[in-house]
Amino acid sequence: MRRLVARTLARPLVLAAAAAAIPPASAAPAAADVVVGGFPVDVSQSPWTVALSSRDRFGDTRAGQFCGGVAVGRTAVLTAAHCMSEEVLGTAPGRAYDLKVIAGRTDLLSKQGTEIAVRNVWVNPGYDGTTNVGDFAVLTLAQPLPQTSVIAMAGPGDPAYAVGTTALVYGWGDTTGGGGYAHGLHAARVHVLADAACREAYPGGWGGTYRSESMLCAGEPAGGRDACQGDSGGPLVADGRLIGLVSWGDGCGRAGSPGVYTRVSDIVRTLRGDRGARARQQGA
């Protein structure tokens, strides 16, 4: 299966976009491997990792979590654009009135941390739901997070994008590739892969097309460690900086089918360009 998760295209990695697809917490396997091939972590180790929640859409199970996100400003959270689609939310982003960001919570079943309302949703106008190009959105929070919960974005030319760099992907998604969702935060250690390897894995057609200008590939040649359904929009971090957002892939942890992430340097370029365009309009 191609996962947008809420990974999807061949499908992005969203929780299959229906609450019914998420088993009750009691049916989830013991928290051994979430984010396929991963290990449990405390949110204090990655305070910028947040969960997106809509209890109206996904119910109280697992606090309504359906995607991940990452705080890049005290009131700014990045996530995948496909997580904000009407297919996932059941309505337009601006009409999902119970949409919240859960910060500072390791176990979704606990009362740890805070749940913050989303005041505004900006979806990248360049996002293409067919190709997954430009798969990112910015959520503006109704109240600020601590500065210690914010991670820096790696811009163009940052050495964190170098092939072979060790990175960590975080999320509360499927731990098995077969619908076994955990309620505790997990991380998986992966490596940044060469663009050539990713183009070979995803040359086009049903399996999707890898485009290096806006995408980043990470995983292991033999498979086994990867993001999965429910992890979409979550962070890929290397050298203490954000380099990717979970976007899509073919299956979870399969050999020869690495995870594809939205390249954060492209997000930085896009947001800088948008700010510049607005400034020019205001000065006209």
From the candidates 82, 174, 231, 266, give the one annotated as an active-site residue: 82
Q: Is 231 a catalytic residue?
A: no
pLDDT at 20 over 70: no
DSSP state of 203: B
**Over 50: is that where the pLDDT of 15 sits?**
no
Cα separation, 186 vs 92, whole angstroms: 30
Task: Say what the pLDDT of residue 36 is.
Answer: 62
What Cα–Cα distance (Å) separates residue 3 from each residue in 28, 158, 161?
A: 20, 28, 23
Percent of the chain scored above 90 by pLDDT?
64
pTM, 2 dp? 0.86
User: Do residues 36 and 172 touch, judged by C-beta distance below 8 A?
Assistant: no
Please tell me which residue in 33, 54, 107, 135 is annotated as part of the active site: 135
Per DSSP, what are the bridge partners of residue 51?
Answer: 68, 102
Tell me which of 103 and 252 has the higher pLDDT: 103
Average pLDDT over residues 198-212: 87
Poorest-pLDDT segment among 5-19, 104-118, 194-208, 226-240: 5-19
CA–CA dist 109, 111 (Å, integer): 7
The total number of residues shown for the chain amounts to 284
pLDDT at 142: 97
Active site residue 82: yes
Active site residue 135: yes
In the set 46, 54, 232, 247, the catalytic residue is 232
Residue 78, pLDDT > 80, answer yes
Q: Which of 19-28, 54-63, 118-127, 151-160 has the lowest mean pLDDT?
A: 19-28
Distance CA 21, CA 13 (A): 13
**C-alpha span between 40 and 35 (Å, rounded):** 9
| First vs last C-alpha separation in the chain | 49
Residue 122 has pLDDT above 90, yes or no: yes
